[in-house]
């Protein structure tokens, strides 16, 4: 049997899936995503190969950023709406951490995984991601659990998952961290991010293919963004 945390609440990490409201509950969805992120971060320590470390960091970054964006657009607004005392100090703190992670990941996009300061930046970002996971599982989510029924927790979970799947995949430290600003800027950024992701997959950064195809890539990306903008207008 586990003990309650300092706030008197039981961490969702110590609860069964049924206690959290089932697999579709926001509590279960968040907990699973945190566990998968932690496993990825642990795999970083399992290799010393710079190329593999760079790939792992890119994957962690994409997952963490999508997770955080869905929190900022779905989970945090629901938390603020449902808590009677309107306490949003915790969400503000986590949003500040999200900003820190965005800035670190933006720097890592331009960094060489073999450079001396790369590992320190990665570990700092990982530390903040893990800290946020504990804040959410030990405090924010148990508080939400106290005021929301199972059906509401599942509805928030479904909306969070939909947003997570369609969120931007790259760091954007200069966009707002709260609605409506993040929602409005997130749509075009998600489109452009996925175009860039496709380019990076076909033409890895630093490769000869990338250098030779650079002019074509620029034209293609611009064309996709222009067409996408026309369709939205």
Q: What is the pLDDT of residues 69-103, one digit of tens each?
A: 999 999 999 999 998 665 588 899 999 999 999 99
Task: Specify the higher pLDDT residue, 153 or 209.
Answer: 153
pLDDT reported for residue 33:
96
Q: What is the average pLDDT across 203-216? A: 51
How far separated are the first and last CA of the chain, in Å rounded?
56
Determine the Cα–Cα distance for residues 124 and 105; give it in Å rounded to an integer.
10
In a domain, 164, yes or no: yes
pLDDT above 90 for 194: no
CA 189 from centroid of its chain's CA atoms: 14
In a domain, 193, yes or no: no
State whether the Cα torsion 167-135-89-75 is positive or negative. positive
In a domain, 89, yes or no: yes
- Alpha-carbon Rg for the chain in angstroms: 19
In a domain, 121, yes or no: yes
pLDDT reported for residue 206:
47
In a domain, 59, yes or no: yes
Exposed e or buried b for every residue in 19-32, given b needs 16+ CB within 10 A? ebbeebbbbbbbbe
Secondary structure of residue 109 in the 3-state scheme = helix
In a domain, 1, yes or no: no
The count of domains in the chain is 1
Q: Residue 98 is part of which domain span?
A: 12-175
pLDDT above 50 for 1: no
């Amino acid at each position: 049997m586990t003990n309650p945390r300092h706030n008197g609440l039981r961490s969702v990490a110590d609860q069964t899936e049924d206690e959290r409201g089932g697999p579709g509950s926001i509590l279960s969805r968040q907990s699973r995503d945190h566990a998968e992120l932690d496993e990825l971060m642990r795999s970083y320590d399992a290799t010393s190969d710079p190329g593999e470390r760079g790939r792992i960091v890119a994957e962690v970054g994409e997952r963490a950023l999508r997770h955080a964006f869905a929190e900022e657009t779905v989970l945090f607004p629901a938390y603020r709406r449902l808590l009677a005392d309107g306490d949003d100090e915790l969400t503000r703190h986590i949003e500040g951490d999200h900003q820190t992670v965005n800035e670190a990941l933006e720097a890592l996009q331009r960094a060489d995984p073999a450079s001396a300061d790369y590992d320190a930046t990665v570990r700092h970002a990982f530390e903040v991601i893990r800290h946020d996971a504990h804040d959410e599982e030990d405090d924010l989510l148990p508080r939400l659990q106290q005021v929301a029924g199972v059906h509401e927790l599942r509805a928030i979970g479904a909306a969070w998952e939909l947003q997570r799947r369609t969120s931007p995949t790259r760091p954007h430290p200069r966009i707002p961290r709260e609605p409506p600003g993040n929602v409005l800027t997130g749509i075009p950024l998600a489109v452009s991010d996925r175009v860039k992701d496709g380019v990076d997959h076909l033409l890895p950064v630093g490769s000869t293919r990338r250098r030779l195809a650079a002019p074509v890539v620029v034209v293609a990306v611009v064309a996709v963004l222009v067409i996408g903008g026309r369709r939205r207008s």
